[in-house]
Amino acid sequence: MSPSIPERVGIVVPDDFPSVFKGTDAHKRASALGEVKVFSERGAEQEEELIRRIGRAQVAINIRAHAKFTEPVFRACPTLKLVSVWGTGVDNIDLHAAGRNGVTVCNTPGVNADAVAEHALALMLAVARQVPAVDRAMRGGQWPRELLTQLTGKTLGVFGLGTIGSRVATMGKAIGMHVLAWSARGNTGRAKALGARPASKEDILREADVVTLHLRLETQTRGFLGRKEFALMKPTAILVNTGRGALVDREALLEALRGRKILGAGLDVFHEEPLKPDDPILAVPNVVLSPHVAGQTPEVIRDGLLRAVENVENFLKGAPTDVVVQPATRRHG
């Protein structure tokens, strides 16, 4: 048992909206550890409300990225010792503030890898083969016969070689693409093991027919693609983003799509979610959109939630797993 954690802990799920946790096997498993409060209504995106919901809980299971765990939140919740995140992304959590305030943060890396990689491949194909546009035209009485883009024999540029990026590289090879890969950690060995050629950021942008982003959103990756990067890309290139919207400069992306500086894009993530009805990306014809659903499969939800609860169990045993940040010294609440 971790220091200063009681045998029966208070666990809160402050942001189960839309609900995926309440009443599941993961919920039942968490209930064996202590009292569990699940909030399945909107409101966790408001700082004061998030603080109220956490209250005196020792553990928070974070479901949605709209709940922002900031310095004020950690300071206002001095009994909080663990944030267990369902998913890989932790950009909604101030990790430095968590460490300073004695809070461990865990996530569930790799659980959604197959689903997200499949979706990235689907977006590539949908843009290249113009599936949504052709479908709409046929339903309108047309019989479009324009030339489409073939991916076999083309070059796939993968940014990020975590579990998801590695899966995408493998899938690209499987359909006959040449794969270039860039690792934020400079892991050229991993690229070679996948049958990919390690390459610089600039070389990938110049050579790739499809560029796909699988990077963690951090200070150094925010705006990873901007005007300078789009200027390097082929006018026939396709961009796929299933990572985070902020990896790409929003205005630069709109300019590149509207000006046909690239062929098109397949996007599952956006700067603001959900998209507002007047968001300009909705009026751009050469983009295929999906509402951040790449990892939304029954298997991912089930396995990810159970993994998030397992991380709570291991933390309470004093052997935390899937740790993103762990304070050097714990405060006492």
Catalytic residues: 244, 273, 292
Choose among 22, 62, 65: nearest CA to 311. 62
Q: Which residue has the tokens 């546009």?
A: 133
Find out whether 265 and 236 touch, Cβ atoms under 8 Å.
no
Residue 78's identity, in one-letter code, is: P
Helix and strand numbers, DSSP H then E, in the chain: 12, 13
Residue 212: half-sphere exposure toward Cβ, Cα within 13 Å: 33
Whole-angstrom Cα distance, residue 158 to residue 172?
9
The 3-state DSSP class for residue 325 equals: strand
Residue 159's identity, in one-letter code, is: F
Find out whether 239 and 214 touch, Cβ atoms under 8 Å.
no
Residue 131: half-sphere exposure toward Cβ, Cα within 13 Å: 12
Tokens of 213: 């982003």
Q: How many residues does the chain have?
A: 333
How many of the other CB atoms lie within 10 Å of CB of 166?
A: 24
H or E element, residue 106: strand 104-106
Whole-angstrom Cα distance, residue 269 to residue 132?
18
Whole-angstrom Cα distance, residue 145 to residue 156?
26
Whole-angstrom Cα distance, residue 113 to residue 111?
6
Instruction: List phi, psi (to 5°) of 290.
Output: -140, 145
